[in-house]
Structure 1
Amino acid sequence: MHLVFTPKYRRKLFTDTILTRCEEVMRKVCEDFGAELRDFNGETDHVHLLARYPSRIALSRLVGSLKGVSARRLHQDFPTHINKYPRGEHFWSPSYYASSCEGTSLAVVKDYIENQKHPD
């Protein structure tokens, strides 16, 4: 499954360090669900994930945990940077993009994700 999440109001919140931490957190959440985070990357205003998850898990439940846990951890780890942007009560936009990779070469999706313009 290819997932894309954006911060609320598409704020440019992500630096290289924050994206690295976000990946660590999301990788752990996937492990807790019995899922596998196969690839992760992002730009200053969004993140891409390539995940494989068991069919017994509802995608909405996995996404809710990925967004909820990562928002809490990023607020804890980078309070000065994250809290300087007004965003209401939520870190992530309530919407997300999800696309099945059935019928598509995983190499093509991985290449697309890896070629995102990772911030310095």
Structure 2
Amino acid sequence: MSRFNKLSHVLWHCQYHIVWVPKYRYKILTGRVAFELNKSIHMHAEKLGCEVVELNIQCDHVHLLVKVPPKVSISTLMGTIKGKTALQVFRQFSYLKEKPYWGNHFWAQGYCVDTVGVDAEMIRKYVKYQNQKEQNLKLKF
């Protein structure tokens, strides 16, 4: 099985590690809240055609390892996930909205994102090998 996914005109393997926190980094992502967030993140990521590889919800932050097709931007993915999950959490757990400092915002602004890819040395060897392979083919013609 290939590590690449297919769309109509592209083979892709775009994997990202994303981390984000609730507002004021409160330790509220536990128990039932964490369970519902887990379900919601999976659901909204899949609606965008993304594949959740790993998801770890800590009490004060979320780690998401996700494969994202090239047609979906990271900002779109995160805007959808943070926006939809915030609405759902406030709807299901109204006691979280009782504190006036939330201001209708569940998540802190921003997030951290890093690409997850093949080792740079492996890519160098692959490119070098392909160059040698091409030269060998030219000699045969």
Task: Please point out which of 83, 86, 90 is paired with 2:97.
Answer: 83
Q: Which residue of 1 aligns with 2:30?
A: 15
For 2:114 and 2:88, the matched residues in 1 are separated by 26
Q: Percent identity?
A: 30
Partner SS state of residue 100, structure 1? strand
1:84: Cα distance to partner?
4.0
**Gap regions ≥5 residues in structure 1:** 105-120
TM-score (ref. length: structure 1): 0.79
For 1:11 and 1:18, the matched residues in 2 are separated by 13
Contact 2:38–2:57 under 8 Å retained in 1: no
**Gap regions ≥5 residues in structure 2:** 1-15, 120-141
Q: Which residue of 2 aligns with 1:92?
A: 107
Partner SS state of residue 63, structure 2? strand
Determine which structure has the larger helix proportion and give its number: 2
For 2:62 and 2:98, the matched residues in 1 are separated by 20
Q: Runs of 4 or more off by more than 4 Å in structure 1?
A: none
TM-score (ref. length: structure 2): 0.68
For the pair shown, which has the larger CA radius of gyration, 1 or 2? 2
Higher relative contact order (Cα pairs below 8 Å, separated by 6+ residues): 1
Change (3 A) 1:89 1:76: closer
For 1:43 and 1:60, the matched residues in 2 are separated by 22
1:13: Cα distance to partner?
1.4
